[in-house]
Amino acid sequence: MKLHNISFNNLRRRKAKMAFLTIGLTVGIATIVTLVTLTKSMSGDIERKMDEFGANILITPQQNGLAMNYGGISLGGVNFDQKEILESDLARISTIKNNKNISAVAPKVLGGVQISGHQVLLVGVQFEKELKLKQWWKLFGEAPKADHELLLGSDAAQVLNVLTGDMVQIKGEQFKISGVLDQTGSQDDSLVFAKLGVAQRLLGKAGRINLVEVAALCSGCPIGDMVLQIAEKLPDAKVSAIQQVVEGRLKALDQFRRFSYAMAGVVVFIGSLIVFVTMMGSVNERTTEIGVFRAIGFRKSHIMRIILLEAAVVGLLAGLLGFGAGMGGARLALPIMAEGKQVALVWDSMVAFGSLGLSLGLALTASLYPALHASKMDPTEALRAL
């Protein structure tokens, strides 16, 4: 017979009360595990979705000059010593240290052309990559597949007075309008898109490009580092992060995390209350028993050890069950939260150990006052008979 035998025997004999306490704590821990795991799993998914939603790194030719435009109004500018980016140089981007974080590299060539008497800006793109980058594009028709096909912005189509399926002429060559973009509210509305190779040929810029948009998946990667890595590989290019986009994404993720932590905080508080009330009730029920312990010579520390050991056993058990139930809950909830898309469930050892530690800490902290209260019980008052 040792003190722990008293604790274990009490837990065994008071099954209903201890089961209630364990279940209460398990539900709390399971909720936190589910929230944290969902947050972690969803964060990766949300981040990936946001990263795919537009570029966050821009590569332009190095130039010694200042642009003179503001709010979409251009006053021209003075450029000299203009460098160029060669299409062949782009392969170097895939050799950077964080190349696995690159989702899409979309090169573009730009130049003015005449169509039906109108001066328009022709943009040569790789449609496969462009569509991946600009998932908000809605097409009437389809993206060009053949060389002599064009995609028009909504304003361009209106000005040129053409519809999907119509033919236009550029530099003596016939092109079919394979699709027209729905209004985007951006500069894309007034552009004419052709396949990159075709545009380079029409503009006399074979093998050259004017700018590259890069979408980087930045789950755990610093975008600043990627900018530096690309700049090292392309010394003649100016590489810059689109800071507004980066900050916006981080802020959105931060808010998502804050929400789940706030929810976890509420659950921890409720869990603490459950443990506190149950342990306090248990101590009050055991007044006579504690009086006997004190009368036969148990020290205050012995009484505290008995109560806290019971709390620790319940805490550890609830931690284990809570982690299992929480991961199960996250597994069930993830497909609903991810709207049916396949998102991988994140198994994190930190969450496992954290849930055990949290459960144990919570049970011990919430039982500290009841244990102190028990240890300070006056044996005479407790026994009454004496």
Partner 1 sequence: MSLIEVHNLTKNYQSGEETVEALRGVDISIEAGEFITIMGQSGSGKSTLLSVLGGLNHPSEGSVQMAGIDLYALSGEKRADFRSQKLGFVFQSFNLICYLTALENVMLPLAIAPMKKKDKIAAAQDALARVGLAAKTDRLPNQLSGGEQERVAIARAIVNRPEILFADEPTGNLDSKTSLEMMNLFRALNDDGQTVVMVTHNPENCDYADRTIHLRDGLVVSAA
Residue 31 CA to residue 35 CA, distance in Å, equals: 6
| Closest among 19, 34, 13 to 318, alpha carbons compared | 19
CB of 11 to partner 1, least distance (A): 9
- CA 207 from chain centre, in angstroms, equals 37
Nearer to partner 1, 116 or 380 (CB): 380
One symbol per residue from 117 to 146: x for binding partner 1 (CB under 8 A), - otherwise; what is it?
------------------------------
Nearer to partner 1, 19 or 67 (CB): 19
Task: Give, as ranges, the residues between 230 and 289 that touch partner 1 (CB under 8 A).
Answer: 288-289
Question: If binding is defined by CB under 8 A, does position 16 make contact with partner 1?
Answer: no
| Closest among 18, 187, 226, 211 to 107, alpha carbons compared | 211
Residue 318 CA to residue 313 CA, distance in Å, equals: 8
Question: If binding is defined by CB under 8 A, does position 1 make contact with partner 1?
Answer: yes
CB of 276 to partner 1, least distance (A): 23
Nearer to partner 1, 9 or 186 (CB): 9
Nearer to partner 1, 264 or 309 (CB): 309
Question: If binding is defined by CB under 8 A, does position 14 make contact with partner 1?
Answer: yes
Query: SS3 breakdown of the chain: % helix, strand, coil, rounded to 5?
Result: 55, 20, 20
CB of 9 to partner 1, least distance (A): 5
Cα of first residue to Cα of last residue in the chain, in angstroms, is 26
Question: If binding is defined by CB under 8 A, does position 204 make contact with partner 1?
Answer: no
Decide: residue 181, CB within 10 A, 0-12 exposed, 13-18 middle, 19+ buried: buried
Stretch that binds partner 1, among 6-14, 81-89, 266-274, 351-359 (CB under 8 A): 6-14
Nearer to partner 1, 343 or 377 (CB): 377
| Closest among 202, 108, 208, 211 to 147, alpha carbons compared | 202
Q: Phi and psi of 18, rounded to 5°? A: -70, -35
Task: Give, as ranges, the residues between 278 and 337 that touch partner 1 (CB under 8 A).
Answer: 288-289, 291-302
| Closest among 360, 359, 93, 86 to 230, alpha carbons compared | 93
Nearer to partner 1, 93 or 382 (CB): 382
CB of 309 to partner 1, least distance (A): 12
Total residues in contact with partner 1, by rule CB under 8 A: 29
Residue 320 CA to residue 301 CA, distance in Å, equals: 28
HSE-CB of 43 using CA atoms within 13 angstroms = 21
Stretch that binds partner 1, among 4-12, 143-151, 218-226, 317-325 (CB under 8 A): 4-12
Question: If binding is defined by CB under 8 A, does position 2 make contact with partner 1?
Answer: yes
The residues binding partner 1 (CB under 8 A) are 1-3, 5-6, 9-10, 12-14, 288-289, 291-302, 379-380, 383, 385-386
